[in-house]
Amino acid sequence: MLDSNGRMKRYYDALRRTNNIEDASATAVLITGGVGHSKNWLTHPTVAEAKALSDFYGRSNDRRFGKSPYHWDLDKRRLEYARRVRYLMG
């Protein structure tokens, strides 16, 4: 269940303020991966912040679990998933 009216309202409001799939995807990355990695919640997180968070997790997961290309590019994968969903929904 989404907590869009409770403690997460600030973040979902930022998601609602996006006007393109790239910004929406970047905002979703920050909502699910670490809201503390953005200071842009009055507008919405940036694509650059999503990339920085993705890189943070890539480095962290490589150190913890061993190197893997899957640890990287979370921001790009999330955007590709969003594009697929948009395509499938017409």
pLDDT tens figures, 19-76: 999 999 999 999 999 999 999 999 999 999 999 999 999 999 999 999 999 999 999 9
Report CA-CA distances (Å) from 57 to 49, 63, 85, 89. 12, 10, 24, 30
Whole-angstrom distance, CA of residue 83 vs CA of residue 44: 19
Amino acid at 22: E
Q: What is the pLDDT of residue 1?
A: 46
Instruction: Read off the DSSP letter of residue 6.
Output: T
Instruction: Read off the DSSP letter of residue 37.
Output: G
